[in-house]
A and B are shown apart, each in its own frame.
Chain A
Amino acid sequence: MTPLEEIISTCRQLAFDLNFSRAKAWKAQDPQRVLVGFTPIYFPREVVHAAKGLAVGILGAGDRKPIIKGDAYYQSYICHMPRGIVELALDGNLDGFDGFVFPSICDVMRNLSGMFQLMGKGRFAKYMDFPQNFRAEIGGAFYKAEMEDVLRRIEAINGVQVTADALDRSIALYDRNRAMLAAIYDIRQDHPWRLAYEDLYCIMRAGLVMPVEEHNAMLEQVLEAIGRERGVPEDRIKVVVAGAFCEQPPLGLIKTIEAAGCYVVDDDFLLGSRWIEGAVGGGNGDPLAAIADAYLTRSVQSSVVYDVGNPKEKRLLDLARRRGADGLVFAAPSFCDPALLDQPLYFHQCEKEGVRYVQFQYNENTGQFKVIKEQVGAFADSIKLWEGEAATA
C-alpha cells in the first residue's frame, strides 16, 4: 500500500470505531488526561486540548450497530442520531469519557443533554449555548463564559489550570488542522479525482476521535500525495452537498453520490472540523476572546446560526459558485427541523438564480441506496447531457 492508502485504511477503521479505542488508549497513557465527548456540529476543541484533554466527536451509531434500547427512548417522529448515542451510552461504549458537551443546534440535542444528566453519564453533561448575538461585548462575552465553564468542569476532574500560552499552542494546532483541510478542499475543487470524497470523509471523521497532533501528521501526508496528479478524471458533474451537518448518512450513501456521477467539491457533512474560516489566531493575551471572535465573525454558514443580515441561501450559492459546482444536492436527515426548515429558502433561491438541485432525505442507518443513486444519477445525467456550462456560473 502507498502511504496515502495506509492513511485511508487507518482512518476508515478509526472513523467508525464505536468503542473509541484510539481516544481511550491515548487517555490511558496519563492519569491527568480526560476525554470530553461532543455532539455535532462545532465545538472549540482547542479549549479541551489546552486542559490536557481530547475532545472526541460522537456522531451516533450510524449503520454499524442495531438500535434496540435507543428506540425505547424516542418517538418515531424524532430523528435517528440521538437513538444511536443513547444506545452507545447504555452499552458502555462511552465508558471512560469524563464529560460530554452538547452544542446548541436543536431541541433534540438540547434535551439529550438532560438525558445524559439523568443517566449520570460522565462527570458532567453540558449543553453549550452558542450565542446568537454576534457583538463581541454581548455574544462574545457570553461565549467566553461558556468556554470558561467547560474549563472549570475539566479542572474539577484533573486539576489542570489552563494558561493563555497553553491555549495559544492548542489554537495553533487546530488552526493548522483547519488550514490543511481547507487546502485539501481547494485541491479537490479542481482535481476531485485525486482523492475520492468517501476517503476524504473517513480522513476527516477520524480526526474527531484521535489526537490533533497525529491527525495533522496524516493530513500533511495526504496533502503531499494529492499535490501531485493521481487518479483518472471522469465525466462527472461537480456538486455541493448541503443539509447533513449533524446526523451523518451511512458511508455507502456518501459513496453513492459520487458513484452516481458526481464529484462532491464541498459539503457540510463534518462541518464542525471546518467551522472557522481562516485562522483563530491568538497570541494577544486573551485566547478565549480570539476563539469567540472567530466564532462571531468567521463561522461558516449553517442552519444553526442565526443569519440575519447574512442570508444563508446567498452564502450557499456563493460557495457553490466559488467551487465551480454544477449543482446542489440537498441531503437532510428525516425529522431534522434546522435542515428541513431551511430548504424552501434554498430551493427558491436556486430557482431564482437558475441553479440545478436535487433533494432527498435519509437516516443514519438508511440501508437502500438504489433509489438515491437513480435520483442523483438522473440529476447528473441531466446536467451532463443538457447543460453546456456550470449551472452556477
Chain B
Amino acid sequence: MAKPTAPVEKERSMIMQKEMVEGLFKELATAREKGRKVVYTFVPGNLSELIRAFDMLPVYPEINALQSGMRKKSAAFIRDAEKWGHSEDVCTYVKCDIGMMLNGNVGPTGQKLPEPDLLLLSYTGCFTFMKWFENLERLYPNAEIAMLHTPYQEGGRITDEMRQYMVKQLREEVIPKFEKVSGKKFDEARLAGILANSKRTDDLITEIFAQSRQRPSPIDAYFAGVYYIGPINIGFRGTPEAVTYYEELLKEIKQRAAEGRGPVTPEGEIKEEKYRLVVEGPPNWTSFREFWKLFHDQGAVIVASSYTKVGGVYDLGFRHDPARPLETLAEYCMNCYTNMNLPQRIDLLGKCITEYQADGFLINSIKSCNSFSAGQLMIMRDLEDKLEIPVGFIESDLVDPRYFSYSNIKNRLDSFFQMLAQRKVLATA
C-alpha cells in the first residue's frame, strides 16, 4: 500500500477548527474541577443548543470512536470489547467506545474524559443508539438518563403527531432532566438566542456545500466535508465561534472558486478535476488518508455526499427557527438523513447527482452501520435506472481495521474509474 507522506496544507479555517476542538477537550478535562456538568449524546439529532442553554458540555461517543479510529487506537479497543462479551458482528462504534471506557476513558487527545452527569439518548435515525446507551447506562450507573425518541419519517414527511410527541418529550422529560442535573431553570429566551446563531450557521453550511456545483469544485464534499460538518456536529452549533468559523470557511472556499482552484487534500490541491462523484455512506476512519488518496490520485472529487447530512439535512430548506424553539429542535432531529425513508434518500441523492452534475455515484457500504447499509443496493439500482449514471460499490467499516482491505477497495475503484473514463470517451465521440 502506498503510504502518503506529503505534509498537509493548512488553511486558516482548519487552524480555527483545531483550536475549537482542542478547547472543548480541555474544557472537558477540567470540567470536574470547574464544576461544569457533562452530557453524553449522539451526533444525529444532537441538541447542541439545549446543552449550551444549560451551560453544559457535550461528549459524543461516535466522535471519540472515529477519532480513535483515525489515531489507530480502535483495533485494541474493539478487541477489548469483544473480550468483554461483544460479538464480532455488531457495530464497531459501540465496541470502540466501550473498549475506550474499559481502558480508563482516555479520550482521543490523551486526556481523560469526565464521566457523564447526564446521558441524553437522542435516538435519531439509528436503532443501535438505543442499545449503545443501554450499555452505557450500566457503565455509568450514577448518571441521570434522558431519552428523546425521534419518530422515523416513514411516510416521507413529518406529521403533527410526530412533532407533538417530540415536543412533549422535550418539555416533560428532557428539559426537566437538564434542570435537575444543571441546577438551572430552563430559559426559553436564551435558547432562542442560541438558535438564532444556529440559523445563521445553517445558512452558511448550506452555502458552503453549494460551492461544489462549480467546475472545478473548490471543495471535496465527503473527505473534507467531514471536517466542515465537525463544529456543527460536536457541540458548537449555536455559538458565535461557529458562526465566525463558517464565515471564514465560506470566504476561503469562495476565494478558491474565484481562482478556479480545486479542493485541498492532504496530498495537496487537486489540479485537474477528472471525475465528479456523489458518495453515499460514511467513510472509513482507520485508513482515512489512504482512502482519500485513492480518489485524489484519480482526480476524483466528491461533489456531494449523504454522510455530511447525517447531523442534519439543510439542502431541502430546513433552518432552525428561534421563534419556535422546541418545535424547531424536534423538526431538526426528524430531518437528519438516516431518519428519512428510502424513497426520500433516493430523491435527495438524485437531486445531488443532477444539480451537482456528477459523473458517477459511489456507495461506501459500512459493515457496522445498518442504518445506512440496509437497502443501499436497492438505492444504487434505482438511481442507476432512473438517471443512467455509472455506479460503484465498495465495502469497508467505520473503525474496525479488519474490514478495510486496501487492495480490494483499490481494485473496485480502479474498475469504477475505468468505467467513468470510458463513459467520457463515448460522450465526446
Partner of B86 from the list A131, A307, A341 (CB cut-off 8 Å) is A341
Whether A315 is near chain B, meaning CB under 8 Å from some CB there, is no
B374 and A112 within 8 A (CB): yes
B84 and A108 within 8 A (CB): no
A111 and B374 within 8 A (CB): yes
**In the complex, residue of chain A having the shortest beta-carbon distance to the beta carbon of B131:** A341
**Which chain B residues (377-424) contact chain A, with CB distance < 8 Å?**
377-378, 382, 395
* A residues near B134, Cβ cutoff 8 Å: 306-308, 312, 341-342, 345
Given contacts A118-B382, A338-B131, contact A347 B85 (CB under 8 A): yes
Bound together, the chains give a CA A337 to CA B89 distance in angstroms of 8
A348 and B89 within 8 A (CB): no
Given contacts A117-B342, A118-B382, A338-B127, contact A75 B138 (CB under 8 A): no
Chain B interface (Cβ < 8 Å from any Cβ of A): 84-87, 89-91, 94, 121, 123, 126-128, 130-132, 134-135, 137-138, 145, 147, 149, 151-152, 154-155, 159, 161-162, 164-165, 168-169, 172-173, 341-343, 345-346, 365, 367, 370-371, 373-378, 382, 395
Given contacts A111-B342, A118-B378, A126-B154, contact A306 B147 (CB under 8 A): yes
Q: Identify the 7 closest CB pairs spanning chains A and B, nearest first.
A: A114-B342, A344-B85, A127-B154, A341-B131, A111-B375, A145-B161, A142-B165
Q: How many A-B residue pairs have CB under 8 A?
A: 161
Instruction: Tell me which of B84, B342, B374 has the highest count of chain A C-beta atoms within 10 A of its own C-beta.
Output: B374
Given contacts A106-B370, A306-B134, contact A113 B341 (CB under 8 A): yes
**Which chain A residues (259-292) contact chain B, with CB distance < 8 Å?**
none
* B residues near A334, Cβ cutoff 8 Å: 89
A133 and B152 within 8 A (CB): no
A303 and B131 within 8 A (CB): yes
* A residues near B147, Cβ cutoff 8 Å: 132-133, 306, 308
Bound together, the chains give a CA A78 to CA B395 distance in angstroms of 13
Given contacts A75-B365, A107-B127, contact A341 B373 (CB under 8 A): no
Chain A interface (Cβ < 8 Å from any Cβ of B): 72-75, 77-78, 82, 104-108, 110-115, 117-118, 126-129, 131-133, 135, 137-139, 141-142, 145-146, 303-304, 306-308, 312, 332, 334-338, 340-345, 347-348, 361
A344 and B135 within 8 A (CB): yes
A-B contact pairs, 29 of them (CB 8 A): A75-B365, A75-B373, A75-B376, A78-B370, A106-B370, A107-B128, A111-B374, A114-B341, A114-B375, A127-B152, A127-B154, A129-B151, A129-B154, A138-B168, A138-B169, A141-B164, A141-B165, A142-B164, A145-B165, A146-B161, A308-B147, A332-B87, A334-B89, A337-B127, A340-B86, A341-B86, A341-B90, A345-B134, A348-B85
**In the complex, residue of chain B having the shortest beta-carbon distance to the beta carbon of A124:** B155
B343 and A114 within 8 A (CB): yes
* B residues near A135, Cβ cutoff 8 Å: 172-173
Bound together, the chains give a CA A110 to CA B340 distance in angstroms of 10
**In the complex, residue of chain A having the shortest beta-carbon distance to the beta carbon of B168:** A138
